[in-house]
Structure 1
């Protein structure tokens, strides 16, 4: 998914984590990603930039995509991150410059590792279910992995377990002794919780965690959450109490506090002003040159019909560090 916010400012995230449990509500904001599609963005936020290596959280829907055009995010580039696509309802058609072509279905994981550079598109297919509902998340790659070769993984057989009245799907990382086969590059966890009643969810005590509700209502740490809010929980917890009176779904996100500064601008996760400028110039150069020649970094997206997204203009001032809070 592409960052289409009108005000495209750089974000430098630093590891200013709380030492121990906290209870911090983050209000999401509605962001247009196309003329017909809105998402709710809870990360990055002015008050909370990251949770572990998780640096971007968009939720969307449920949208009636039979009577609407559906999702259509044209080809666009990424560096320095992994995209995690997770659906509750509907279908999304993924294409990328590696030649991958995959239909994303509910309960299945699409994990794209950008590394030093990749381009992809996401859209609702012509033949599709009547509703679309899901989440797109980014994981910042640590220094040792951020220049790796790009790759794409589609994982159907994810581990599922029952904890009390909660059905847990481990999307990435490890939870309660179950590990996702998806390849990540820093200690983290991402899990879908289908909450029908009370449960105690075990947590890794040295991770920081957060919860964002995707459907219905879920009570987390005594707080009744609805979609559009993220509850940051800090570190130092070995378990979390969740429940729901009428049923709900949420994402549990966590990870080892990320100890590197990262600079986010548009669809790029880098470290310096010069790196962001160079990535933008390369993408715009490829657009102008038709993705031909030896200097292709991102590449064309085979099968996508339509113009790729042009990068927004850089700010007139130098991209500079900003605090996490």
Structure 2
């Protein structure tokens, strides 16, 4: 997915962020698409936090009535220095990329695309989709892997039952390890990604890795996390050191994403769809995209809607150098 803001925030992200307690981040609405843009709720990056492990970007969207919003139609756009992770709750999205991959994003199935040295892709909700509801996530690549080759992985995890003190819960582990199950999808830093579904009134104590930072994104329902009540679309973040979390679903149950990873100790500059280490790297990538460089390749088979562009142009760089952003705010 692209960051389609016309004036994207310039970020120089430092490691970690947050306190010893849960840090609750509320999303800001960002339009995605053309004239009938659907809205996404963006919680990362945030002025108060840059990362959860190497997770550096969290968009949550829907449920959206496609007939009213026009659905998703994101024309070919570039990425460097990151992996994109697509996860759906409802609907279906057609993915095409310059690595030659043409596939579908479906509920309960993860698609992970690596765009290290350079890739471009498009995302379009299918004609059969009536409701679109999901999350789009980015993972920053570490310095030694920032120029990794284009790649794509798909995985449909089997649901596993979780041990609860009351009620019932299940998990779909799409990245990393949780509750005795593992995903075969490889990443460049240790990560966790899982969907958890709790029936009404369920209480669950979940053992987690103490060397991981963790975040809980509440999708639907109501949830108490340890002793904190979350609202839908809240992202609750915690630094490394905690060995378990307590989850209690409300009367209508809860569906959530659990994200985690070892603290990302590097600084990155993130602007538009690029993750890099300097202003110069960002400027070079932008120039090469605008010049239709072979660095990003081309997406075959994407058909733009009437009066829409067949590829997204890069926004103008801000005046002067990209400004740094420190651990908890601008510097």
TM-score (norm 2): 0.91
Q: How does 1:94-243 map to 2 (within 5 A)?
A: 94-126=95-127, 128-158=128-158, 160-164=160-164, 165-196=168-199, 197-243=202-248
Residue from 281, 293, 318 that aligns with 2:321: 318
Unaligned runs of 5+ in 1: 287-294
Give the deviation of 1:18 after TM superposition. Answer: 5.7
The question of whether the paired residues in 2 share the 8 Å contact of 1:158 and 1:180 is answered with: no
Deviations, residues 250-285 of structure 1 (Å, cap 9, x unaligned) = 111111110100110000000011100110000000
The question of whether the paired residues in 2 share the 8 Å contact of 1:29 and 1:228 is answered with: no
Change (3 A) 1:46 1:68: closer
The question of whether the paired residues in 2 share the 8 Å contact of 1:64 and 1:132 is answered with: yes
Unaligned runs of 5+ in 2: 305-309
SS in 1 for 2:25: strand
Q: How does 1:295-310 map to 2 (within 5 A)?
A: 296-306=294-304, 307-310=310-313
Q: Which moved more, 1:154-163 or 1:223-232?
A: 154-163
TM-score (norm 1): 0.93
In 1, Cα distance between equivalents of 2:2 and 2:102: 18
Give the deviation of 1:217 after TM superposition. Answer: 1.5
In 2, Cα distance between equivalents of 1:125 and 1:136: 17
Q: How does 1:78-89 map to 2 (within 5 A)?
A: 78-89=79-90
| Length, aligned pairs only | 315
In 2, Cα distance between equivalents of 1:158 and 1:148: 29
In 2, Cα distance between equivalents of 1:322 and 1:95: 33
Calculate the aligned-residue CA RMSD, in Å: 1.5
In 1, Cα distance between equivalents of 2:158 and 2:12: 33
In 2, Cα distance between equivalents of 1:77 and 1:236: 36
Equivalent residue, structure 2, for 1:291:
none
Change (3 A) 1:7 1:221: farther
Deviations, residues 298-319 of structure 1 (Å, cap 9, x unaligned) = 0111110121000000011111
The question of whether the paired residues in 2 share the 8 Å contact of 1:215 and 1:250 is answered with: yes
Deviations, residues 126-148 of structure 1 (Å, cap 9, x unaligned) = 2x232111000000011121111
In 2, Cα distance between equivalents of 1:214 and 1:18: 22
In 2, Cα distance between equivalents of 1:309 and 1:211: 32
The question of whether the paired residues in 1 share the 8 Å contact of 2:27 and 2:41 is answered with: yes
Q: How does 1:220-299 map to 2 (within 5 A)?
A: 220-245=225-250, 246-286=252-292, 296-299=294-297
Deviations, residues 54-109 of structure 1 (Å, cap 9, x unaligned) = 00000000011145421111110000001000001110111101111111110001
